[in-house]
Amino acid sequence: MAMVKTRDGTHLYVKDWSLNGIRNRPVVLMHGWPLSADSWDDVALALVEQGFWVIAYDRRGFGRSEQPFDGYDYDHLADDLYDVMEAYDLKDAAIAGFSMGGGEVARYMSRHQGKRVSKAVLISAVVPYMLQTDDNPNGTPQAVFDQMLDGIKADRPKFFTDFFKDFYGVSMLSHPVSPECLTWTHTMAMQASLRATLACVKAFSSTDFRPDLAHFSVPTLIIHGTKDKTVPIEAAGRAAAAQLPQATFIEYEDAPHGLIATHRARLIDDLLKFLWA
């Protein structure tokens, strides 16, 4: 089991994948809430088969990483990313964040000046700002996040059963993923500590990443689904693209939040085109 010890002593579980041990063209993958690095497996395997070296790790409090009580703000999480990159001595790495993981990408670019990074990817990301405020009218009202927290505290397993249907765009007439995929996702979510699960809702819902975007100085890819109910595109993907006019922005028509599963083949193709460019 590969583990990286962070500056505050937290051990993070890391997947270190490369073809025939050839470690070049590194790509670091940050997973979404409330999942683990396993959620990236299909994408990671495809990237490795194309010659990339993939590092994917479980965020503190999630998956197989240690579960400290504190450290779930984005400064700590960006430091964890820095410590993983330092541990593997990565150079010219692409860093990709899905959903909550996009926040780590953004905060890393400002807090650590994009050190060791050559490209950045934001997929269904919470960047630049999820919360509805006077200067962010397209954001999500605080009451929605309060309801999430209440639901998790009341019955976390039931909350996630309902949550992942919207996550993947599942309805009576639409089944973009199998029941088994829903079960697998639910299992990943339940690996996380309750403390981390709740604290990260507060982190991704209230952190304003708009100042962080000014520090993006590398080629950036933004991908977002137009039917994302979890992180609506107007306040996320489109707003991020407006702040990063040089970025490549791709909208997936009718795609839900969990497009790393529902639109996996297209996502892999778009990622490879961007990484090889």
- β partners of residue 221: 121, 248
Closest CA to 122 of 100, 94, 98: 98
| Known catalytic residue at 38 | no
| Known catalytic residue at 79 | no
As given in the structure block, the two tokens for residue 64 are 């197989």
How many CB atoms are closer than 10 A to CB 271? 23
Closest CA to 230 of 201, 207, 203: 201
- Distance separating alpha carbons of residues 174 and 189, to the nearest angstrom: 23
Q: Count CA atoms within 13 Å of residue 66 on its CB side.
A: 15
User: Which residue among 58, 79, 212, 228 is the active-site one?
Assistant: 228
Three-point CA angle 192, 193, 198, nearest 5°? 100
Q: Are strands 93-98 and 117-123 parallel, antiparallel or unpaired?
A: parallel
User: Which residue among 99, 124, 193, 205 is the active-site one?
Assistant: 99
User: Which residue among 31, 224, 257, 263 is the active-site one?
Assistant: 257
| Known catalytic residue at 257 | yes
| Catalytic annotation, residues | 99, 228, 257
